[in-house]
Each structure stands twice: as structure tokens, then as C-alpha cells.
Structure 1
Amino acid sequence: MICPFCGAAMEKGCIKGQHEMAWLPDDKRDALFTDAHLQEGAVLLASSSIFKGSVVDAWCCRVCEKLVVEY
């Protein structure tokens, strides 16, 4: 993939975590004690599994230090 920000080649990989991963709007980021994907406007990127954690495919541009996430 070519980086949409700087035009450099991107490296395919993944982002791993122990819990679910979700994108939240700025005004929802500080909500504590609530599953992220239940927040209004949230985009669930990866659900969590006891055995695998959570994994979401992503592309990394090491030139401009940006990630492009596939969900």
C-alpha cells in the first residue's frame, strides 16, 4: 500500500492488544468503566478473545509515522 499522507511504501502488519479495541470520538475518550464499543459513535476495531486477545490489520508508514487501520 502507498501511504495516502506522504506517498511512501507502507508495511502491512497488525495491532495487538489484550482487550477490545475501538475508535472513539474525542468527546467520548474519557468515559471510564464502560466498554468502548458501547459508547455512542464508537467504531469497534477488534473484539477480544480469552486466548488471542484482540488483533486488527493495519499498515504502517515509517516515514511519516502514520497507521492506516482496516476494520
Structure 2
Amino acid sequence: MSQSDPFDYVDRSDLETPHANQPADALEYVRVEHDDRPDELGVTPVDMDPGVMTEWITIDAADACDLDDWR
């Protein structure tokens, strides 16, 4: 970590390989457009069984940035 970068990035070789029986994380996002307030981005799991309750994570779209541009 350097003085100019506050994040302690992990090298991919330090990450453990998921167990074969462990489900893969699968997320998707959707943009929710509003006329009277800022648009929102919602992140939700993909391919959930019908009837399974999930929670969405939402942020104002203006607060999101492209990860490649941010790096």
C-alpha cells in the first residue's frame, strides 16, 4: 500500500479457490429511472428460485462510476 492509495489490494494469487459445492455469486444490475428524483442503480442476485425473497442494494446512479475508469 502506498501513501497515495488508501486501499490494501489483494493479489489474485492470494485468493482461495471456491469449494466445488459453493455456489458462485451471480449479480446483475438494473437502472431505475425517475422523473422527480435522481435515477438509481439496483444490484440483485441472478437466477433466484421463484418465491425466494431477496434484497436489492440501491444507489443514486450519479454516485456510480465505471470500475475501469476509477482504477
Higher helix share: 2
TM over 0.5: no
Q: If the length of structure 1 is used for normalisation, what is the TM-score?
A: 0.28
Higher strand share: 1
